[in-house]
Amino acid sequence: MSRRLAVDALLAFFLSRLLFFGLVAAGAQIEFMSKTYGKSVWETRIVFQWGRVRPEIERVSMVGDAWHYREIAEHGYDRSSRDAFFPLFPLLARALGSDFPLSGLILSNTALLIALFLLGAVTTRSGGSADDASRAIFYLAFFPTSYFLSLPVTEGLFLALTLGATLLALQGRWLGAGVVGGLAAATRFAGILLVPMLLLLPSSRRTPKLWLALVPCGLLGFMAHLYRVTGDPLAFVHVQTQFGRTFSWRGLAAQLHTFAEPWNLVALNAAAALLLVVVALHLLARREWAFGLYTLGSALLPLSSGSFQSMARYAAVAFPLFLWLAARGRKPAWDRVILAVSIILFGWLTALLTLRVDLALA
């Protein structure tokens, strides 16, 4: 990677995380006292106490799925709802220390920084210019739901691993691609989508791609562990009903009648799903089969559960999206629009997260 892109990656990381953690620190000065007006509105007051900052960062961080990963790190799997969550992230967080909120934050933010470096390298290796790579880096750092990349959940680690496997494959280093891809598959089920993508990637080396058989090993290893603990190797699938996911397409149309519902900002999530599908179809029309199929799979896999929930969150790790946006951003007007919309939504959603609005968690 060039020095310019390295600087851009560092700058994008520090500016975007300064905005995120700055808003959280500011929100730490808001004291929530009680609910009024029929228990629908919080009564608040501003209390300037810097000692509240770290506890507030921990409170904001330990939301949603983070509790499941903490339980896995501390107690493992036990035939409960946490069987839905893959093991690599909590294992690495536990290896970093016993304070899961802190170790999880360190792991996720380190992975995000690495992912920004890797995205620049993947962009140029895929035929993009240095300017394209720079735009892709900033678009990712300020993507509306990129705050998930800083929370103690899997997004940041998964993104770094998928980009790492992609870069190694583009370099023709198939053993490394298989190993890193296997780690991605041990982080999230969507890691299995790397198999067709990596197989279709062009490579300058005529070396066998058989090492890509290592990618499903991450998933198979997790299934073997679940079988040993629960007797059901597909427990991570069967437990999805506890989260309202039924692997049916019928629920999608029913959700479109509302802007938002608890734990589901339907409008934003539906827009993210549509964006992923449009990007995938455009890439496929241009015969960019590898990235097109990966983006399409990144959209259809979660949508098959019959819900738009978390689609904007999943879009943050579908990295071909940012390569596609970077190409659109070659026109200065589009570049300004993409950055403006991203930063505004990023700040708004972070504020909602700080103010304990559930839909910002999905």
- The rounded mean pLDDT for the chain is 90
How distant is the alpha carbon of residue 22 from its chain centre?
21
Integer Cα distance of 245 and 232 in angstroms: 18
157 neighbors 187 (Cβ within 8 angstroms): yes
Instruction: Assign 250 a pLDDT band (cuts: 50, 70, 90).
Output: low
Over 90: is that where the pLDDT of 94 sits?
yes
> If we measure between CA atoms, which residue out of 309, 354, 314, 358 comes closest to residue 61?
354
**pLDDT (average), residues 315-325:** 98
When pLDDT is averaged across residues 164-182 and rounded to a whole number, the result is 95
- Residues above pLDDT 90, as percent of the chain: 65
CA of residue 232 relative to chain centroid, distance: 27
SS3 42: strand
Give the per-residue pLDDT at 226.
92
Residue 39 confidence (pLDDT): 63
Q: In the predicted model, what is the mean pLDDT of residues 280-303?
A: 96
Residue 275 — pLDDT band, cuts 50, 70, 90? Answer: very high
Q: What is the pLDDT of residue 202?
A: 79
What single letter denotes the amino acid at residue 140? L
pLDDT tens per residue, range 11-66: 999 999 999 998 888 877 776 667 666 666 667 666 677 777 777 888 888 888 89
What number is the average pLDDT over the span 106-111? Answer: 97
Considering only CA atoms, which of 356, 339, 354, 357 is closest in space to residue 144?
A: 339
**CA-CA-CA-CA torsion sign (228, 302, 133, 169):** positive
Cut 0.75: pTM above it:
yes
Query: What pLDDT score does 256 carry?
Result: 75
Question: How many whole angstroms separate alpha carbon 98 and alpha carbon 83?
Answer: 21
In angstroms, rounded to a whole number, what is the distance separating the alpha carbons of residues 296 and 29? 42
pLDDT at 75 over 70: yes
Q: Rounded to whole angstroms, how far apart are CA atoms 152 and 203?
A: 34
**SS3 category, 44:** strand
What pLDDT does 207 receive? 65
**In which element (H, E) is residue 25 found?**
helix 3-27
Separation between Cα atoms, residue 57 and residue 102, nearest integer Å: 10
Q: pLDDT value at position 359?
A: 73
Give residue limits of the domains in the chain: 3-361
The rounded percent of the chain whose pLDDT value lies above 70 is 91
- With a cut of 80, say whether residue 241 has pLDDT above it: no
Question: Any residues with CB less than 8 A from the CB of 337 and at least 6 apart, and which?
Answer: none
Using one digit for the tens of pLDDT, what is the confidence trace for 83-93? 899 999 999 99
pLDDT of residue 87: 96
> Is 219's pLDDT higher than 70?
yes
pLDDT tens track for 199-217: 999 765 566 788 999 999 9
